[in-house]
Amino acid sequence: MPVNLPTNLLRSFVAIVDTGSMLHASEQVFVSQSALSLQIKRLEELLQQSLFHREGRRLALTAHGDLMLDYARKVLALHDEAVAAVTNGQFAGPARIGMVQDFAELLLTGLLSQFAELHPEAELYARIAGTAELLDLLERRQLDIVLGFAAANDRHAVTTAPMSWFGKEDLALLDTVQLAVLETPCRFREAAIRALEDAGRPYRITVETPNLTTLRAAVDAGLGLTCRTGMFLHDAPLTGGGLPDLPHVSCILHTAPGLDGPTSQLSELAREVVAGLPA
């Protein structure tokens, strides 16, 4: 009897080669690293050949692995072509969207639920992270759509909004501005610090966190001022205290090339929702 090679094993094998590591491959195929290791072990058992060997910490293809890679790509390409032809292009895989935390609360309950109603058969994967990380995942083909922030003149801008100061008004009157910021890299953190330094205003960071929810709580508690857009808080931004002006920021939409119908529709829905956000 001929050996049957499951396509999920082949996808995992190709993902490891393309991403260069088990960690990145596990994010691409949506399984844990331990499950991914078991998949490769199973594939090697079916083929009765080793596909990888270790070169220090790096996984390298064996001669058999290098040979198998070409066949695996051909099998997967033909498989996906057959599925698309038989299903008339109906949605088959997960729509993978990444967004910055600012968008998450606004979009997860609106945009994605709307998409799910239009495509009840669709599988959705949402990743919340900083813009730089999301764009890296998009470049490595681990995301299809990215919503993030960039400079006001970015060519991928859907809309622009002014950065504003938020926090307790009495903190703006202090000689040394107390800042609540996200960890680097953060466009808003950089803009706040640059504006204060250019204006000659002393400052110190009193709260630093990787989480936007914690940042919001710190600002509400009066632990520091922060710089965001109007999406950050429902309260009006600060206008007094001699705080320096801040630049505008763009809300950007990046997409992977060759999106299918439903994922392309998700991209257009995202563009419409972001374009309609209040400045």
List the CATH number of the domain containing 200. 3.40.190.10
Cα 1 from chain centroid (whole Å): 44
Q: Radius of gyration (Cα) for the chain, nearest Å?
A: 23
Instruction: Say yes or no: 236 and 258 in one domain.
Output: no
Residue 1 placed within a domain: no
189 and 67 part of one domain: no
- Angle between helix 111-118 and 261-275 (nearest 10): 150
Q: Are residues 257 and 232 in the same domain?
A: no
φ/ψ of residue 178, rounded to 5: -95, 125
By C-alpha distance, which of 216, 224, 215 is closest to 170?
224
Q: Which domain holds residue 261?
A: 94-160+251-275
Total number of domains constituting the chain: 3
What integer pLDDT is reported at residue 93 of this predicted model?
A: 62
- Based on the fold, state whether residues 78 and 180 are members of the same structural domain: no
pLDDT at 180: 95
Question: Is residue 105 located within the same domain as residue 145?
Answer: yes
Identify the pLDDT of residue 108: 67
Q: Which residues contact 95 (CB under 8 A, 6 or more apart)?
A: 115, 122, 123, 124, 125, 144, 145, 262, 263, 266
Tell me how many degrees the CA angle 60-49-74 measures, rounded to the nearest 5.
75
Q: Residue 243: its pLDDT value, please?
A: 92
pLDDT at 114: 77
- Per DSSP, 173 falls in state G
Residue 189, amino acid:
R
Is residue 87 within 8 A of residue 121, CB to CB? The reply is no
> In the prediction, which pLDDT does 202 show?
94
Q: Is 228 part of a structural domain of the chain?
A: yes
**Whole-number Å distance between alpha carbons of 55 and 255:** 35
Domain contains 172: yes
The DSSP bridge partners found for residue 157 are: 252
CATH of the domain at 68: 1.10.10.10
Within the chain, what is the greatest distance between any pair of CA atoms?
A: 81
By CB atoms closer than 10 A (0-12, 13-18, 19+), residue 127 is middle
Instruction: Classify residue 225: in a domain, yes or no.
Output: yes
Look at residue 65 and tell me if it is in a domain: yes
d(CA 248, CA 154): 11
Q: What whole-number distance in Å separates Cα of residue 217 and Cα of residue 178? A: 15
- Per-residue model confidence as pLDDT tens for the chain (279 residues): 678 888 889 988 998 888 888 887 877 776 778 888 899 999 999 999 999 988 777 788 999 999 999 999 999 888 877 776 666 555 556 788 888 888 876 676 677 777 777 777 677 788 888 898 899 888 888 888 999 999 989 999 999 989 999 999 899 889 999 999 999 889 999 999 999 999 999 999 999 998 888 998 999 999 999 999 887 666 778 877 789 999 999 999 999 887 777 788 888 888 888 887 766
Q: What is the dihedral of CA 73, 78, 81, 87, to 10 degrees?
A: -120
pTM above 0.75, yes or no: no
pLDDT at 234: 64
**184 in any annotated domain:** yes
Asked if residue 35 is part of any domain, the answer here is: yes
Q: Are strands 58-61 and 226-228 parallel, antiparallel or unpaired?
A: unpaired
In a domain, 187, yes or no: yes
Same domain as 107, residue 58: no
